[in-house]
C-alpha cells in the first residue's frame, strides 16, 4: 500500500473519530417526562402497543380502568388513541437520527412501559417491541394475547385467557409458568430456549425453537394429547407421532433438545 493511500485512509479514520467524539461530547443527557394515560376498560375492545427499545410489563390494575405509564423526551413520544371501534392504539414516534444513539446513556426506568388492566378484561392485548423484554404476570384476560420482541425475553407467569396466546422472540428465551389458554398457545423462539412449567391448553400447544431447547411440563395426561414432534441435531423424549387425544402437542426443535413431561 503506497503512502498516498495510507494518508487517505488515515484521514478518513481521523474524520470519523472526530465526528463520533463530537457527537458524544455535544449530546446532553436526555430529559424524560413521566406520562400517564387512563381509560375505562369497558370502552376498549383491543389494546395494541408498538414500540422499540422499551421493556413492557403487563399486570393487573386495582380498579376498572386501563392504566398506561410511560416516559417521553423531546425526540421520543407516543401517539395514544382510542378509536371509535374500541381499539386502543399506542405507538412510539421518534425524531432521532444516528447521532442521537452515540454516547447515549440509557436509563432503564425511562425505557419501560407499564400497562395495568382489570382482571377478566374482555379486550385482547397485542404487544410489539425490540431489544427489550416483555413481562406478563398475574392476570386473567378474556381476549387473545400476543407478544413479539427481538433481542429480548418473553416471560409470562400466572396468565389465563379464554382465547389464544401467541409469543415470538429472537436471540432470547420464552418462559411460560402457570399459563393457561382455553384455545391454543403458540411460542416461537430463534436462538433461544423455550421453557414451560404447568402450561395448560384447551386445544393445542405449539412450540418451535431454533438453536435452543424446549423443556418443561404440560398439564394433562399423556393420553389426552395427539403428539407431533421433530428434532434436528438434538435429543427428543417425545414420540414423532402419536394418535388419539382431544388436544394437540406440536413441538419442533432445530439444533436443540426436546424434553417435555406431562403432569396432572
Q: In this structure, is residue 21 part of a structural domain?
A: no
pLDDT band at 4 (very low <50, low <70, confident <90, very high): low
Q: In this structure, is residue 17 part of a structural domain?
A: no
pTM of the model: 0.86
Q: What is the pLDDT of residue 108?
A: 78
Contact, 217 vs 237, CB < 8 A? Answer: no
61-118 confidence digits (pLDDT tens) = 999 999 999 999 998 999 999 999 999 999 999 875 544 444 444 567 899 999 999 9
Torsion of CA 258, 262, 263, 264, to 10 degrees: 160
Question: CA-to-CA distance for 247 and 180, rounded, in angstroms?
Answer: 14
Q: Residue 16 belongs to what H/E stretch?
A: helix 3-26
Q: In this structure, is residue 5 part of a structural domain?
A: no
> What average pLDDT does the segment 201-208 reach?
98
pLDDT band at 9 (very low <50, low <70, confident <90, very high): low
On whether both 165 and 236 belong to a single domain, the answer is: yes
Q: In this structure, is residue 202 part of a structural domain?
A: yes
On whether both 207 and 118 belong to a single domain, the answer is: no
With a cut of 50, say whether residue 48 has pLDDT above it: yes
Structural domain including 65 reads 29-132
Q: In this structure, is residue 19 part of a structural domain?
A: no
182 or 1: which leads in pLDDT: 182
First to last CA, the chain: 72
Q: Give percent above pLDDT 70 in the chain.
A: 84
Q: In this structure, is residue 24 part of a structural domain?
A: no
Q: In this structure, is residue 214 part of a structural domain?
A: yes
Amino acid at each position: 500500500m503506497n503512502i498516498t493511500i495510507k494518508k487517505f485512509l488515515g484521514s478518513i479514520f481521523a474524520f470519523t473519530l472526530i465526528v463520533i467524539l463530537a457527537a458524544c461530547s455535544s449530546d446532553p443527557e436526555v430529559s424524560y417526562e413521566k406520562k400517564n394515560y387512563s381509560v375505562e376498560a369497558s370502552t376498549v375492545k383491543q389494546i395494541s402497543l408498538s414500540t422499540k427499545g422499551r421493556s413492557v410489563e403487563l399486570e393487573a390494575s386495582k380498579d376498572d380502568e386501563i392504566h398506561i405509564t410511560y416516559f417521553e423526551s423531546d425526540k421520543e413520544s407516543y401517539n395514544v388513541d382510542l378509536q371509535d371501534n374500541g381499539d386502543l392504539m399506542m405507538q412510539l414516534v421518534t425524531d432521532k437520527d444516528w447521532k442521537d444513539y452515540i454516547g447515549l446513556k440509557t436509563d432503564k426506568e425511562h425505557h419501560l412501559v407499564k400497562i395495568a388492566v382489570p382482571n377478566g378484561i374482555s379486550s385482547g392485548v397485542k404487544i410489539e417491541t425490540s431489544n427489550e423484554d416483555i413481562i406478563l404476570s398475574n392476570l386473567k384476560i378474556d381476549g387473545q394475547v400476543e407478544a413479539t420482541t427481538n433481542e429480548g425475553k418473553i416471560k409470562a407467569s400466572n396468565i389465563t385467557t379464554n382465547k389464544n396466546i401467541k409469543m415470538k422472540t429472537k436471540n432470547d428465551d420464552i418462559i411460560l409458568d402457570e399459563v393457561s389458554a382455553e384455545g391454543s398457545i403458540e411460542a416461537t423462539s430463534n436462538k433461544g430456549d423455550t421453557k414451560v412449567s404447568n402450561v395448560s391448553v384447551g386445544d393445542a400447544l405449539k412450540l418451535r425453537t431454533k438453536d435452543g431447547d424446549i423443556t418443561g411440563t404440560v398439564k394433562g395426561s399423556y393420553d389426552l394429547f395427539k403428539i407431533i414432534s421433530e428434532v434436528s441435531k438434538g435429543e427428543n423424549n417425545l414420540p414423532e407421532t402419536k394418535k388419539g387425544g382431544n388436544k394437540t402437542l406440536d413441538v419442533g426443535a432445530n439444533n436443540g433438545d426436546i424434553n417435555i413431561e406431562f403432569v396432572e
